[in-house]
């Protein structure tokens, strides 16, 4: 483990020397400062892992010094221990807590007391830093890491009525934290398509064609009047007079009786025969029919529809592919840009792209999804995240503009006239492919990647895809899947 650096600030020379010796005996690297000014200089020379300072300094107080420290984003979250006198006011301590002071140590203190305070603060801060690093990782990588660390080999869905598809994955939801219950299923599906997880069939569900919800009420209705009050009855044949009719015509209070010859029928296959198939009777219109219509009502949006029009979606368990986590690679740092968002929008206009901003792209994509739903078609959205591998300096606007113009020219050579394309961010091009299922979009995306590989730039491009209706039935759900930037990364060969 790397040696921890501690900045010690105190105007008491004897206490400063004694405290330094204690800390160095514990294998800490100690930097000394006798006042706030020297402490400021020490911080500018190197950021420590911990600051220990006296509440009263010759040129300032600890709290005035910390107010200046917190103004610097690089120093703002450094842990601090304040050495106090016995007559320290409670109000001063409250002020320190507001400034991020993590602990107080009253003078005089013994060696063990100081050592324990320092160890506890540094241990706590190490956990906090690691948690922050984990939180900064894309959620899909954190999920793979979580599965590896906890020995979880398969994510098994559990029934959850509130969830849109009727299932949730508790372990995945804990890490992915989707906006809606069960929303993690869309991200897991894209992770499976990207090769990070293996699908194992679990169940199949029917969905509402309008809102995509699973909570459906199936009922049989009369094909003539659409009433649900129907009965299924068998046909009876009287063996004495060969009269044939529905069984309700034979029923009386005293038993079965032929309505034609008026004989009571007691023995099946001797007095009467019973059909193997049933006839349906509507109690509303009195109509008769052999097969009722199976009708559905969505309990979420109240839509009525024929069962034949209800989409069927497969629900899977997701198995961790061996060594997949070790193979997952993070995309590099984003491009460093010296220009504002309005410069990017001006560039979009100059390229005469279909849409100018993300809001317009969202509206156009939603319209395409609505059209796809009405025509039972598909739509796929591609997201190209890019960086320059050998970039060591900031990228100015002219260089960025030249890069984007060449990339867009290459894309336009392959894209169709009705495909939508925009610059979603300085590092992302986004393309909507109407009437394009996932497999066809994958072929098209590979062609786009190969075309971009011919540019003279040493580009590293990561592709992500989301398709309607497989990955979601709304633009918000597809956008959630598009956040997957690591597991579905497919850098093309350079």
State whether 342 and 428 are in the same domain.
yes
State whether 477 and 447 are in the same domain.
yes
The pLDDT, as a whole number, for residue 169 is: 92
State whether 341 and 262 are in the same domain.
no
Distance of alpha carbon 162 from alpha carbon 141, whole angstroms:
27
State whether 239 and 193 are in the same domain.
no
State whether 359 and 444 are in the same domain.
yes
State whether 148 and 256 are in the same domain.
no
Tell me whether residue 458 is in a domain.
yes
pLDDT in tens, 234-266: 888 888 888 888 888 888 888 888 888 888 887
Tell me whether residue 307 is in a domain.
no
Tell me whether residue 237 is in a domain.
yes
pLDDT in tens, 124-176: 776 555 555 444 446 777 788 788 877 788 999 999 888 889 999 988 888 88
Distance of alpha carbon 235 from alpha carbon 274, whole angstroms:
6
CB 247 within 8 A of CB 299: no
- Inter-helix orientation angle 358-374/475-482, to 10°: 120
Does the reported pTM lie above 0.85? no
**Three-state secondary structure call for residue 380:** strand
| Final residue before a domain boundary, out of 291, 307, 337 | 291
Q: What is the H or E stretch that residue 295 is in?
A: strand 293-298
State whether 361 and 434 are in the same domain.
yes
State whether 131 and 144 are in the same domain.
no
The pLDDT-based confidence of 347 (bands split at 50, 70, 90) is low
Q: Residue 41 above 60 pLDDT?
A: yes
CB 315 within 8 A of CB 223: no
State whether 346 and 474 are in the same domain.
yes
Q: Based on the number of CB atoms within 10 Å of its own CB, is 181 exposed (0-12), middle (13-18) or buried (19 or more)?
A: middle
The pLDDT, as a whole number, for residue 31 is: 92
The proportion of the chain whose per-residue pLDDT surpasses 70, expressed as a percent, equals: 79
Beta-bridge partners for 304: 297
Kindly report the number of other CB atoms within 10 A of residue 322's CB atom: 10
- Inter-helix orientation angle 139-149/111-136, to 10°: 120
Q: CATH number of the domain at 423, please.
A: 3.30.70.270
Distance of alpha carbon 290 from alpha carbon 416, whole angstroms:
50
**What domain range includes position 240?**
223-291
Tell me whether residue 487 is in a domain.
no
| Final residue before a domain boundary, out of 302, 320, 338 | 320
pLDDT in tens, 359-376: 677 788 888 888 888 877
Tell me whether residue 300 is in a domain.
no
> How many domains is the chain built from?
4
The pLDDT, as a whole number, for residue 194 is: 67
What is the DSSP-derived secondary structure letter of residue 257? Answer: B
State whether 47 and 125 are in the same domain.
yes
The pLDDT-based confidence of 392 (bands split at 50, 70, 90) is very low
Mean pLDDT score of the chain: 78
What is the DSSP-derived secondary structure letter of residue 151? Answer: T
| Final residue before a domain boundary, out of 301, 320, 339 | 320
Tell me whether residue 150 is in a domain.
yes
What is the DSSP-derived secondary structure letter of residue 307? Answer: G
State whether 157 and 267 are in the same domain.
no
State whether 109 and 149 are in the same domain.
no
DSSP string for 316-346: EEEEEPTTHHHH-----PPPPB-S-HHHHHH
The pLDDT, as a whole number, for residue 278 is: 74
Q: What is the H or E stretch that residue 252 is in?
A: strand 251-252
Distance of alpha carbon 412 from alpha carbon 419, whole angstroms:
9
Tell me whether residue 343 is in a domain.
yes
Q: CATH number of the domain at 99, please.
A: 3.40.50.2300
Residue 430: phi and psi, rounded to 5, are -125, 135
Higher pLDDT, 329 or 214: 214
The pLDDT, as a whole number, for residue 324 is: 47
Residue 461: phi and psi, rounded to 5, are -115, 135
Tell me whether residue 218 is in a domain.
no
pLDDT in tens, 265-316: 877 777 788 877 677 888 889 888 877 888 888 999 998 888 778 888 889 9
> Closest by alpha carbon to 274, among 307, 305, 241, 233?
233
């Amino acid at each position: 483990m790397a040696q921890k650096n501690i900045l010690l600030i105190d105007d008491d020379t004897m206490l400063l020397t004694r405290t330094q010796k204690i800390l160095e005996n514990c294998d800490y690297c100690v930097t000394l400062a006798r006042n706030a000014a020297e402490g400021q200089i020490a911080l500018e020379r190197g950021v420590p892992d911990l600051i220990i300072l006296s509440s009263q300094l010759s040129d300032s107080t600890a709290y005035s010094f910390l107010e200046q420290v917190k103004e610097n984003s690089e120093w703002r979250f450094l842990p601090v221990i304040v050495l106090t006198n016995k007559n320290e006011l409670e109000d001063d301590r409250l002020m320190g807590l507001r400034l991020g002071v993590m602990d107080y140590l009253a003078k005089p203190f013994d060696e063990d007391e100081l050592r324990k305070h320092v160890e506890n603060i540094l241990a706590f801060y190490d956990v906090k830093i690691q948690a922050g690093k984990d939180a900064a990782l894309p959620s899909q990588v954190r999920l793979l890491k979580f599965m590896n660390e906890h020995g979880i080999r398969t994510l098994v869905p559990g029934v959850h009525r509130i969830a849109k598809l009727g299932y949730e994955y508790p372990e995945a939801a804990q890490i992915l934290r989707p906006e809606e219950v069960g929303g993690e299923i869309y991200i897991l599906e894209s992770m499976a398509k990207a090769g990070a997880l293996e699908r194992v069939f679990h169940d199949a569900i029917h969905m509402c064609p309008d809102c995509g919800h699973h909570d459906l009420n199936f009922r049989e209705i009369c094909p003539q009047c659409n009433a649900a009050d129907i009965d299924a009855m068998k046909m009876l044949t009287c063996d004495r007079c060969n009269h044939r009719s529905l069984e309700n015509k034979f029923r009386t209070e005293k038993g079965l009786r032929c309505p034609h010859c008026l004989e009571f029928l007691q023995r099946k296959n001797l007095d009467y025969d019973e059909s193997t198939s049933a006839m349906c009777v509507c109690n509303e219109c009195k109509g008769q029919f052999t097969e009722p219509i199976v009708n559905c009502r969505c309990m979420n949006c109240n839509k009525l529809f024929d069962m034949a029009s209800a989409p069927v979606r497969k629900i899977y368990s997701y198995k961790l592919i061996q060594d997949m986590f070790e193979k997952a690679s993070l995309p590099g740092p984003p491009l460093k840009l010296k220009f504002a968002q309005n410069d990017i929008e001006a560039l979009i206009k100059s390229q005469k792209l279909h849409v100018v901003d993300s809001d317009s792209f969202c509206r156009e994509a939603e319209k395409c999804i609505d059209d796809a739903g009405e025509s039972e078609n598909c739509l796929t959205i591609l997201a190209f995240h890019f960086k320059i591998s050998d970039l060591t300096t900031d990228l100015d606007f002219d260089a960025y503009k030249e890069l984007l113009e060449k990339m867009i020219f290459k894309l336009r050579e392959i894209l169709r006239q009705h495909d939508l394309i925009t610059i979603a961010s300085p590092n992302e091009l986004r393309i909507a492919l109407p009437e394009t299922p996932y497999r066809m979009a994958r072929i098209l995306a590979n062609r786009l990647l190969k075309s971009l590989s011919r540019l003279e730039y040493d580009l590293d491009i990561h592709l992500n895809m989301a398709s309607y209706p497989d990955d979601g039935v709304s633009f918000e759900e597809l956008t959630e899947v598009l956040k997957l930037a690591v597991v579905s990364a497919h850098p093309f060969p350079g």
